[in-house]
Structure 1
Amino acid sequence: MADRSAPVLPPSLRVSLGPVAALAALVVVVLGILYAGHGEPGTVDGWVVRPTADSVRPPWRYVALTLDSLGEPGGAVMLVVATVTGCLLLRRPRGAVLVVVGVGVAVGTTTMLKHVVGRTIHGDDNLSYPSGHTAFATALAYAVALLVAGRPGLGRAAGASLVLAAALVAGAAMGWAEVALSAHYPTDALGGWCTALAVTPVTAWLVDRTADRPSRRTAGAGRREGD
């Protein structure tokens, strides 16, 4: 039976995932400064965009469109609801909260950064940095992988590797789709991926802290009554 009080960010993983989150946040800031107010691909973008943007053909184009649709509001809600339902069936309420809040914070952060950075693609109205689709896919995979990584018997190195591998696969898949469909520059996808890597573990830590407060208050009240 699952432990309802099990943390979504086990202490053993904080040491490994914390520095990754800090480095990812630094990458987001550096890229944001480099491309603030730009409306054209950068040098790194040019290496990838020229051969792939708007050039992907069926059946891969259908794959890219399908992935993109999963990051749209309808597809995203469907994925989140399905994942939350799975968490509740497995009696992991904290995991359900993390999925909703973690994804929301990741997407909300990219939306805010888009207006702060002001980078555009295909016109002044299309803010592009960082990619919200990529952040969504990465945060969702990260949250789910954390629940698996926290299982007893899985070591710190294996758990951290699992979380980062899941985030990499999900972020790379969605980032590829966005670049292939010319919806984002490659550095937009990188920024979205790093945004999720930075905010999701912090959100998980806050979920644990919030969930643990009632138990700490109850324990404190019990000690006072014993006195």
Structure 2
Amino acid sequence: MTQAPPTSPRAPALLPPSLRPPLGLTAGLAALVAAVFGVLYAGHGESGRVDRWIVRPTADSVGPPWRRVALATDFLGEPVGAALLVGAAVAVCLLLRRPRAAVFLVAGTGLAVGATTLLKPLVGRTIHGDDNLSYPSGHTAFLTAFALAVALLATGRLGLGRTAGTSLVLAAALVAGAAMGWAQVALGAHYPTDVLGGWCTALAVTPVTAWLIDRTADAGRRQPP
């Protein structure tokens, strides 16, 4: 009897099965919220009632030393800052021999930002003039997606259950989205509802990206040589 060749150990799922129902529901609700606000503010060039209730978003609303904090946070969503952040995380994944995780970090953040880039001209909301499309916030989507991806990877590595894992992922997304959202509004770069739209976009896109990468990778392993 011939012995079957040994197979490589299966990489841990990016989206653990126990987290798929709650994060799937969260992604659906987030997509709905992002779509509703996109429709409500389509073609607008000024703050809405919700925005005005929170803060006057078209003028800088923070001074030193908090302005420096806002600028530092904003830098993380700029191309150079985002590349440095993702590059460092990818390097750690490769050192730990987690290529699937490295792909997820790049794809998850890239698709979240890409989704906001596609939505902006469709919604057509502007700030500080007709050339500055604002909804949804790409900076907020990026940092939220990055934090969500890191939290998902930590959940899988620590073997957390549904309650603890979901709590960690959503808490990380909330903290990152709130931090970047505050910076964007404080610097007058976005309306508060732009920030909410960017946050919801990341919540909708990132778990789906993890699931698709898992499906693709696992299907590839099942293919006969």
- Compute the TM-score of the two structures, normalised by the length of structure 1: 0.92
Matched, 1:217 2:194: no
Q: Which residue in the other structure is 1:68 paired with?
A: 74
Q: Sort the Cα spacing of 1:103 and 1:4 in 2 relative to 1 into closer, same or farther, 3 A.
A: farther
Which of 7, 14, 37 aligns to 1:8? It is 14
Q: Tell me how far apart the structure 2 counterparts of residues 46 and 39 of structure 1 sit (CA, whole Å).
A: 13
Which of 43, 46, 49 aligns to 1:37? It is 43
Q: Which residue in the other structure is 2:154 paired with?
A: 148
Which of 76, 80, 91 aligns to 2:97? It is 91
Which of 206, 212, 216 aligns to 2:212? It is 206
**Residues 115-134 of structure 1 deviation map (CA, whole Å, 9 limit, x = unaligned):** 10000000000000000000
* Shift, 1:70, TM fit: 1.1
Q: Tell me how far apart the structure 2 counterparts of residues 69 and 162 of structure 1 sit (CA, whole Å).
A: 25
* Shift, 1:49, TM fit: 2.4
Q: Secondary structure at the residue paired with 1:154?
A: coil
What runs of 5+ residues in structure 1 fail to find an aligned partner? 222-227
Q: For residues 187-206 of structure 1, what are the structure 2 equivalents within 5 Å?
A: 187-206=193-212
Q: Sort the Cα spacing of 1:92 and 1:194 in 2 relative to 1 into closer, same or farther, 3 A.
A: same
How high is the sequence identity, in percent, across the aligned residues? 73
Q: Note if contact 1:27-1:194 (Cα within 8 Å) is conserved in structure 2.
A: yes
Q: Which residue in the other structure is 1:27 paired with?
A: 33
Q: Sort the Cα spacing of 1:53 and 1:158 in 2 relative to 1 into closer, same or farther, 3 A.
A: farther
Q: Which residue in the other structure is 2:140 paired with?
A: 134
Q: Tell me how far apart the structure 2 counterparts of residues 188 and 82 of structure 1 sit (CA, whole Å).
A: 28
* Shift, 1:154, TM fit: 1.4
Q: Tell me how far apart the structure 1 counterparts of residues 85 and 43 of structure 2 sit (CA, whole Å).
A: 33
Q: Note if contact 1:114-1:128 (Cα within 8 Å) is conserved in structure 2.
A: yes
What runs of 5+ residues in structure 2 fail to find an aligned partner? 1-8
Q: Sort the Cα spacing of 1:191 and 1:169 in 2 relative to 1 into closer, same or farther, 3 A.
A: same
Structure 1 segments (4+ residues) deviating >4 Å:
none
Q: Tell me how far apart the structure 2 counterparts of residues 9 and 144 of structure 1 sit (CA, whole Å).
A: 11
Count of matched residue positions in the alignment of Structure 1 and Structure 2: 217
Letter in 1 for 2:180: M
RMSD of equivalent CA atoms: 1.4
Q: For residues 101-120 of structure 1, what are the structure 2 equivalents within 5 Å?
A: 101-120=107-126
Q: Which residue in the other structure is 1:225 paired with?
A: none
Question: Higher helix share goes to which structure?
Answer: 1
Q: Tell me how far apart the structure 2 counterparts of residues 109 and 174 of structure 1 sit (CA, whole Å).
A: 18
* Shift, 1:198, TM fit: 0.1
